[in-house]
Amino acid sequence: AASVCAAEQIDSLVVIAGPRDLSWAALLADCFAREQHRTTVVGVPYSKNCNVYVPKLMPITLGFDSARRILSEIAGNIFTDALSSKKYWHFIRCGEDALTLEVALQTRSTFSVLKDTGHAQEQAEKEDTHTSLKATVRRLEEVVERRRSLGHHSGVVLLSRYLVESLPEMDKLRRELVEVLGTAPEASLRAKPPSRHEVERQLKQEDARELFKRLPRVVQISLIQRRDAKGMPLLPTDLEAERILGRFVQQNLKAAKTKVPFAPRFHSLEFMSYAPLPSPLDCAFGYALGHTAATLVCERRTFYVASCANMHLPVAEWQPVAVPFSFLYSPCGGPSQNLDWEIPKRSGAMRPNLVEAYEHFREAWVESNVLKAPGPLQFGDGADVGPLGDRPLTLLADAIGLDELKQIIQPIRALPPAVCIRSEPLVIRDIRVTGNLSVLEQRRLRYVPDMPPYLRGPLRAQDEVICPQACSSIEGLARSFPQTYGQHSAMRLVPSEADFGGFEAARGEKSTGSPKFSVEHHHPGLRRPRRVGVVFASNQAPGFHSVIAGVFDYLSGLSPPAEVIGFPGGYEGLIKGYVLPIDKEVVDQYRNLGGQDMLCFSSDSGYLAFKDHLKAVTGTIRAQRLDGLVLVGNPEAQVDAAFITEACAAERLETCVVGVPVSIDCDFPFLQQSIGYDTVCQNLSAYLGQLGAMAQTAGKLWIFVRIMGNAWSHIAVQCTLQAHPNIVLLSGSQLHGQCLPGIVKSLCDLIMARHEAGKDYGVVLLPLGFAQDITELRLLFSEVMEILANGSYATSWDSIPTIAAKLEPCSAALFDIMPRDVQYEICFGGRERQTNQIHLPSISTDRLILRFVEIELQRRRELGLIAEDFFRGSCHPMLHHARSSLPSNFDCDLSYTLGWGAAVLTCLGKSGLLVRASGLQKPPKDWLLEAIPLTCLLRALYDEEAKEYIILPATVQLLRQRGIVRPFAYLPPMTERCGVYRGPQQFWGDAAEDKAMRTTWFMEKMPIQDATGPLLEIAALCDELQSMMAQAKAESTLLTVNSILSNAVSILDAYKSLDASSRRSAQSLADVPMEIMPQVWRTKIEEALRQPNRHPGAINASDASRRGSAA
Q: What is the secondary structure of 335-374 as a DSSP string?
A: TTT-TT--PPP-SSS--HHHHHHHHHHHHHHHHS------
What amino acid is encoded at 532 in this protein? V
Q: What is the pTM of this model?
A: 0.90
CB atoms within 10 A of CB 577: 14
Q: Which helix (H) or strand (E) holds 589?
A: helix 584-590
What is the β-pairing status of strands 760-767 and 700-707?
parallel
Report DSSP state, residue 926: G
Round to whole Å and give the CA distance between 90 and 264: 6
**In the chain, what is the greatest distance between 2 CA atoms, to the nearest angstrom?**
117
Identify the pLDDT of residue 918. 93
Identify the pLDDT of residue 521. 55
Mean local confidence (pLDDT), 290-298: 96
Higher-pLDDT residue of 352, 182: 352
Q: Which helix (H) or strand (E) holds 897?
A: helix 889-907
Average pLDDT value over all residues in the chain: 85
Per-residue confidence at 169, pLDDT binned at 50, 70, 90?
confident
Range picked from 168-177, 800-809, 996-1005, 1044-1053 for highest mean pLDDT:
800-809
Identify the pLDDT of residue 505. 45
Q: Does residue 374 contact residue 438 with C-beta atoms inside 8 Å?
A: yes
Q: Is residue 138 over pLDDT 90?
A: yes
CB atoms within 10 A of CB 504: 10
* Percentage of the chain modeled with pLDDT above 90: 54
Q: Is residue 14 over pLDDT 90?
A: yes
Round to whole Å and give the CA distance between 67 and 48: 6
SS3 string of 31-46? HHHHCCCCCEEEEEEE
CB atoms within 10 A of CB 804: 17
Q: Is residue 386 over pLDDT 50?
A: yes
Round to whole Å and give the CA distance between 749 and 727: 12
Q: Which helix (H) or strand (E) holds 566?
A: strand 563-567
Identify the pLDDT of residue 187. 46
Round to whole Å and give the CA distance between 151 and 156: 15
Per-residue confidence at 1079, pLDDT binned at 50, 70, 90?
low
Q: Does residue 505 contact residue 448 with C-beta atoms inside 8 Å?
A: no
Identify the pLDDT of residue 515. 63
Encode pLDDT of 517-561 as tens digits: 555 555 554 567 899 999 999 989 999 999 999 999 999 999 889
Mean local confidence (pLDDT), 316-342: 73
Q: Is residue 1058 over pLDDT 70?
A: no
Round to whole Å and give the CA distance between 769 and 467: 31
Q: Is 1085 exposed, middle or buried (0-12, 13-18, 19+ CB in 10 A)?
A: middle
Round to whole Å and give the CA distance between 87 and 842: 13
Q: How many CA atoms lie within 13 A of 944 on its CB side?
A: 0
Identify the pLDDT of residue 492. 93
Round to whole Å and give the CA distance between 880 and 691: 16
Q: Is residue 647 over pLDDT 50?
A: yes
Identify the pLDDT of residue 440. 95
DSSP bridge partners of 319: 309
What amino acid is encoded at 190 in this protein? R
φ and ψ of 193, to 5 deg: -65, 155
581-595, 881-895, 1040-1054, 1070-1084: lowest mean pLDDT where? Answer: 1070-1084
Per-residue confidence at 424, pLDDT binned at 50, 70, 90?
confident
Round to whole Å and give the CA distance between 539 and 601: 6
SS3 string of 678-708? HHHHHHHHHHHHHHHHHHHHHCEEEEEEEEC
Residues in the chain: 1111
Round to whole Å and give the CA distance between 76 and 53: 27
Round to whole Å and give the CA distance between 515 and 330: 69
Q: Is residue 150 over pLDDT 90?
A: yes
Helix axes 677-698, 714-723, angle to 10 degrees: 50
Per-residue confidence at 734, pLDDT binned at 50, 70, 90?
very low
Cα 49 to Cα 347, 434, 446, 574, 894, distances in angstroms? 7, 31, 34, 47, 40
* Percentage of the chain modeled with pLDDT above 70: 87
Report DSSP state, residue 54: B
Mean local confidence (pLDDT), 898-902: 97
Identify the pLDDT of residue 102. 96
Identify the pLDDT of residue 580. 94
Cα 884 to Cα 76, 81, 1000, distances in angstroms? 9, 5, 20
Mean local confidence (pLDDT), 3-27: 92
Encode pLDDT of 711-723 as tens digits: 888 999 999 999 9
φ and ψ of 309, to 5 deg: -115, 170
Round to whole Å and give the CA distance between 308 and 45: 11
Cα four-point dihedral sign 21, 24, 26, 29: negative
Q: Does residue 929 contact residue 490 with C-beta atoms inside 8 Å?
A: no
Provide the 3-class DSSP secondary structure of residue 660: strand
51-60, 727-736, 838-847, 875-884: lowest mean pLDDT where? Answer: 727-736
Q: Is residue 407 over pLDDT 50?
A: yes
Q: Is 312 exposed, middle or buried (0-12, 13-18, 19+ CB in 10 A)?
A: middle
Q: Is residue 693 over pLDDT 60?
A: yes
Mean local confidence (pLDDT), 230-259: 85
Identify the pLDDT of residue 1097. 36
Q: What is the secondary structure of 447-476 as a DSSP string?
A: ------GGGGS-EEEEE-S----S-S-HHH
Cis amide prior to 276 (ω within 30 degrees): no
1-5, 650-654, 1018-1022: lowest mean pLDDT where? Answer: 1018-1022
Mean local confidence (pLDDT), 845-870: 92
Per-residue confidence at 501, pLDDT binned at 50, 70, 90?
very low
Round to whole Å and give the CA distance between 276 and 697: 11
CB atoms within 10 A of CB 386: 16
CB atoms within 10 A of CB 417: 8
φ and ψ of 239, to 5 deg: -95, -5
Cα 649 to Cα 181, 189, 952, distances in angstroms? 74, 76, 21
Q: Does residue 271 contact residue 694 with C-beta atoms inside 8 Å?
A: yes
Round to whole Å and give the CA distance between 9 and 957: 63
Q: Is residue 308 over pLDDT 90?
A: yes
Identify the pLDDT of residue 1078. 63
Cα four-point dihedral sign 963, 638, 685, 444: positive
Residue 310 CB contacts under 8 Å (≥ 6 apart), including other chains: 317, 318, 319, 399
Identify the pLDDT of residue 588. 95
Q: Backbone dihedral region of 677: left (phi > 0), alpha (psi from -120 to 50 degrees) or beta?
A: alpha
Round to whole Å and give the CA distance between 982 and 888: 15
DSSP bridge partners of 914: 659, 932
What amino acid is encoded at 114 in this protein? L
End-to-end alpha carbon distance in the chain: 82
158-162, 897-901, 1090-1094: lowest mean pLDDT where? Answer: 1090-1094
Provide the 3-class DSSP secondary structure of residue 659: strand
Round to whole Å and give the CA distance between 778 and 800: 18
Cα 233 to Cα 208, 215, 229, 239, 660, distances in angstroms? 14, 14, 10, 14, 57
Q: Where are the beta strands (DSSP E) in 53-87?
A: none
Per-residue confidence at 447, pLDDT binned at 50, 70, 90?
very high
Round to whole Å and give the CA distance between 296 and 12: 9
Round to whole Å and give the CA distance between 409 and 389: 8
Encode pLDDT of 933-949 as tens digits: 999 999 888 888 878 88
707-711, 937-941, 956-960: lowest mean pLDDT where? Answer: 956-960
Q: Is residue 393 over pLDDT 90?
A: yes
Mean local confidence (pLDDT), 220-245: 85
Identify the pLDDT of residue 898. 97
Q: Where are the alpha helices (DSSP H) in 86-205?
A: 97-107, 119-126, 133-149, 168-181, 196-202
Per-residue confidence at 329, pLDDT binned at 50, 70, 90?
confident
Higher-pLDDT residue of 176, 292: 292
Cα 247 to Cα 90, 351, 820, distances in angstroms? 12, 32, 11
Long-range contacts of 291-300 (CB under 8 A, 24+ apart): 291/320, 292/320, 292/321, 292/322, 293/14, 293/42, 293/44, 295/320, 296/40, 296/42, 296/322, 297/11, 297/12, 297/14, 297/40, 297/42, 300/40
